[in-house]
Amino acid sequence: MRAYLELFGHRHARWPLVTSMVSRLTPGMMILALVLLLREHDYGYAAAGIVSAGHQLGVGLASPVQGRLVDRYGQVRVLLPDALLYLAGTILLATTAAAGGPVPLLVVVALVTGAFFPPVTAASRVLLSRLFPTGQLRETAFALSSISVELGFVVGPLVAVAIAEASTAGWSVVLAGAAAAVGSLGYSTTGAARAMPRREGSRPAGGALRAEGVRVIVLAVGLAAIAFGVLDITVPAVAEFSGDRAAAGRLIATLAAGSLLSGVVYGGRMWPGSLPVRLRFFAAALAAGMLLLPLTVHDLRLFAVGLFAAGVFLAPTTICAFQLLDDLAIRGTQTEAQAWVQTSVVFGVALGTTAAGFAVDNAGPAVAFLAGAAGVGIGAGVLQVRFPVLGRSRVDEVATRIARPGALRGLRTRGDGADPVGRRRGCTARYPGDDGQPRPDLHQHYGPQREGGGR
């Protein structure tokens, strides 16, 4: 726990961490809140599913564009208008549904609202990588980011239901929007966010996806996300088929508990091996955990154990993936790279829920879990086949500058100070022309550079 206390004790990291956590309630609240809203006003489940899908489609399609804008114009200039427009969109959704608006109109409103979802998670990960380019605190910061996402998906649905029962489901939707807006506005007011650099000059052809390592991570994580969608559908199905529908909540909580516990443990210390090696191991272990779940569906207690075991490998996989993604992304495209992963997760989950629905109806939950295991397994295979790419040095082609020169003086840290040359243990992200010195301070101008160096 010392690492987490030290992280929250860092004066430039504390408030960005806290405010970004608030915004992470929204993804866990919004889908359930939309379903509750539409059912409250006598829309069918099909309509609720289509409107919810419209919101997620908006988030998935717009995320890379949002990330690109953040890299180009800075975090605050994008997050502030996004916060206000997203909140306005949720208010419009609630009022349109209450007025009995047609389903196509609700889908359009949900799609546009989702497109303005503030990319606080992507922005905050890039900020944390700037604050902690090396050492233990970098591991802990990325672990805490993944843990807060998990907590959002655990706490968010509970908050949505509580608000709907205490008042109306419309307020659940609006307050989900308010959580995103408050988190985004609060994050934007921090000195660290205001001082983040923006890209100067033209965007490289292909943007963040120009980096081959980024493409590998985006594909592998998207394939793994198929399992997330499978779990969303199949865990409640297992509970229903066992005759205890109410057990679904406890089973999902068991999965989340395994992920949260492993995330806390992982972020509390340094681990041996490079990030690519760790990512490859955890992805393979997650695939094995999913592959064992079909053997446990006949007994809820055994199934709960299997879910917990699978969850143990979930958080470390995502932590390693997002850290490595920042190492591999071309400087000046890091936020866009993070956003591409969010897009791949959205579409991976959508594919997983669709496949699981057909599998459960036609062959049962065991076959559905095999589909999830196949997704993670193929993703792990991509990491194995393309493993050399994950060890290559970053290609830095984009100049960056900071809107307020000198604003980040004294803000940068070298992690826990245990690494005198500023290199990340086990996975050193070297810059072209790297002579072994720490990553440059953020207030410096970065000019176009040639490919070179190495890991």
**Residue-wise pLDDT tens digits, 227-281:** 988 888 888 888 888 888 778 878 888 888 899 899 999 988 888 888 999 999 9
Residue 313 has pLDDT above 60, yes or no: yes
Comparing CA positions, the residue from 111, 105, 104 lying closest to residue 60 is 111
Element (H, E) at 288: helix 275-292
Which phi and psi (to 5°) does residue 446 adopt?
-105, 115
Same domain, yes or no: 224 and 176: no
Burial of 397 (0-12, 13-18, 19+ CB in 10 A): buried
| 31 against 316, higher pLDDT | 316
In a domain, residue 108? The reply is yes
Mean pLDDT for 213-232 is: 92
In a domain, residue 118? The reply is yes
The pLDDT of residue 218: 96
Q: How many domains does the chain have?
A: 2
Same domain, yes or no: 288 and 188: no
In a domain, residue 227? The reply is yes
Q: Which of 98-107, 132-141, 415-424 is most confident? A: 98-107
Same domain, yes or no: 277 and 162: no
Comparing CA positions, the residue from 257, 268, 345, 343 lying closest to residue 305 is 257
Q: Which of 150-154, 186-190, 264-268, 335-339 has the lowest mean pLDDT?
A: 150-154
pLDDT, mean over the chain: 83
The pLDDT of residue 85: 97
In a domain, residue 410? The reply is yes
Same domain, yes or no: 338 and 374: yes
The span from the CA of 49 to the CA of 103, in Å, is: 11
Same domain, yes or no: 175 and 263: no
Same domain, yes or no: 168 and 33: yes
- List the structure tokens of 350: 């959508």
In a domain, residue 440? The reply is no
| CATH of residue 314 | 1.20.1250.20
Domain span holding position 374: 206-397
Same domain, yes or no: 287 and 353: yes
The span from the CA of 62 to the CA of 72, in Å, is: 15
In a domain, residue 432? The reply is no
The span from the CA of 103 to the CA of 208, in Å, is: 36
Same domain, yes or no: 313 and 367: yes
**396 φψ region: left (φ > 0), alpha (ψ -120 to 50), beta (else):** beta
| Banded model confidence at residue 202, pLDDT cuts 50, 70, 90 | low
Distances (CA, A) of 453 to 29, 333, 387, 426, 450: 45, 19, 18, 16, 10
Per-residue pLDDT tens digits for 74-96 = 999 999 999 999 999 999 999 99
Same domain, yes or no: 175 and 59: yes
Per-residue pLDDT tens digits for 347-405 = 998 888 888 888 888 888 899 899 999 999 999 999 999 999 998 755 554 444 444 44
Same domain, yes or no: 197 and 238: no
Same domain, yes or no: 406 and 269: no
Comparing CA positions, the residue from 332, 359, 357, 351 lying closest to residue 449 is 332
In a domain, residue 439? The reply is no
Question: How many CB atoms within 10 Å of residue 164?
Answer: 21
The span from the CA of 236 to the CA of 248, in Å, is: 5
Q: Tell me how many degrees the CA angle 245-251-255 measures, rounded to the nearest 5.
A: 155
In a domain, residue 325? The reply is yes
Q: Which of 71-80, 161-170, 215-224, 391-400 has the lowest mean pLDDT?
A: 391-400
Helix ranges, 168-272 (H): 169-188, 191-194, 212-241, 247-267
The pLDDT of residue 46: 79
Residue 336 has pLDDT above 60, yes or no: yes
Same domain, yes or no: 275 and 385: yes
Residue 423 has pLDDT above 60, yes or no: no
Instruction: Let me know: does 130 contact 412? Beta carbons within 8 Å.
Output: yes
Crossing angle between the packed helical segments 136-166 and 169-188, to the nearest 10 degrees: 150
